[in-house]
Chain A
């Protein structure tokens, strides 16, 4: 019997209006415990107003061996960045 508790990925929304962000992972036997553990481990210093938990096994990750075909073709497509516009000086924070 596997005595290790399953791993859960934890997502926290730091305040209303912002998105949930991945903050880390932890062990728990069920989703209820995962929420409690996440609350205790990741929100001790008022880091969040909402928690999502997902058991890690339900996350499908891309294969690092396929990084070449997945990500490298984007490297020379500079035209996909909106960097060719001339911005008027009055516009700040772009």
Chain B
């Protein structure tokens, strides 16, 4: 039971990075500027590096001779535990930055807690990832301020993105059964404790960006339990195609 819980917790941690990494990977060759294109795909690669660490460990914990690739590629939609936020589409650059920002603030707080995880491997992965994520936050927050506090048009686009994406923010802090286990055993973090820090950090940057958080938003939940938005199926179709069409293919 412990093993299964740990396995599921690793999947939850990995899936957020993986689906966001996939979304950013879609932008490869399509970034608004060459330099931004490279920056976004760098972030994607950072995230996939983290996923590999989580899933290699998950494969070891599971002990069924499956590999990190099997875990990444060969699950059904309902078995992915990522939050709804990270699967939201690359509607425009403001959406990409806003999604990244809302995730980065959470990711940074979470990893800072996971550094102290009772599980040594998770603690080591967190220590390694935190530097990457510190940079992701610098990148997304400076860009959010640039867009939000830019022209009337860019401000409008950033506000529209924030209005669209904010409804997925609180799912990050809604404790699932598996996260409750992680909190109680000291493997994971107490999400409730992170929520206030999250809100104050987000509010600070949003204010600097000359934007406003939507008030009385109806929050959306379900990703962690495998109930995803309509976008998830398309992501997985892209993501899994080669493995489904040509099982066990390698390059």
Interface residues of A (CB under 8 A from B): 5, 26-29, 32-33, 36-37, 39-41, 44
Chain B interface secondary structure, helix, strand, loop or mixed?
helix
Q: By the criterion CB–CB under 8 Å, are A29 and B146 in contact?
A: yes
Cα distance A39–B34 in the bound complex, in angstroms: 14
Q: By the criterion CB–CB under 8 Å, are A44 and B142 in contact?
A: no
Q: By the criterion CB–CB under 8 Å, are A41 and B138 in contact?
A: no
Q: By the criterion CB–CB under 8 Å, are B35 and A37 in contact?
A: yes
Cα distance A44–B34 in the bound complex, in angstroms: 15
Interface assignment of B202: CB less than 8 Å from any CB of chain A:
no
Centre residue among B33, B42, B142, B146 by max chain A CB count within 10 A: B33
Can you name the residue of chain A whose Cβ is closest to the Cβ of B138? A36
Interface assignment of B181: CB less than 8 Å from any CB of chain A:
no
Q: By the criterion CB–CB under 8 Å, are B42 and A44 in contact?
A: yes
Chain A residues near B236: list those with CB within 8 A: none
Cα distance A66–B22 in the bound complex, in angstroms: 53
Cα distance A78–B38 in the bound complex, in angstroms: 47
Chain A residues near B139: list those with CB within 8 A: 36
Q: By the criterion CB–CB under 8 Å, are B142 and A36 in contact?
A: yes
Chain B residues near A39: list those with CB within 8 A: 135
Interface assignment of B39: CB less than 8 Å from any CB of chain A:
yes
Q: By the criterion CB–CB under 8 Å, are B146 and A27 in contact?
A: no
Chain A residues near B138: list those with CB within 8 A: 36
Centre residue among A33, A40, A44 by max chain B CB count within 10 A: A40
CB interface residues, B 107-145, toward A, < 8 Å: 135, 138-139, 142
Q: By the criterion CB–CB under 8 Å, are A40 and B38 in contact?
A: yes
Shortest distance between the CB of A37 and any CB in chain B (Å): 4
Shortest distance between the CB of B211 and any CB in chain A (Å): 19
Shortest distance between the CB of A75 and any CB in chain B (Å): 40
Q: By the criterion CB–CB under 8 Å, are A27 and B42 in contact?
A: no
Q: When A and B form their complex, which 10 residue pairs have the shortest distance between CB atoms, in order from nearest?
A: A37-B35, A40-B39, A40-B38, A40-B42, A26-B35, A41-B38, A41-B35, A27-B35, A36-B139, A27-B33
Can you name the residue of chain B whose Cβ is closest to the Cβ of A5? B33
Can you name the residue of chain B whose Cβ is closest to the Cβ of A8? B35
Cα distance A4–B107 in the bound complex, in angstroms: 33
Centre residue among B35, B36, B38, B42 by max chain A CB count within 10 A: B35
Shortest distance between the CB of B64 and any CB in chain A (Å): 36
CB interface residues, B 41-85, toward A, < 8 Å: 42
Shortest distance between the CB of B49 and any CB in chain A (Å): 13
Can you name the residue of chain A whose Cβ is closest to the Cβ of B151? A1
Cα distance A74–B18 in the bound complex, in angstroms: 60
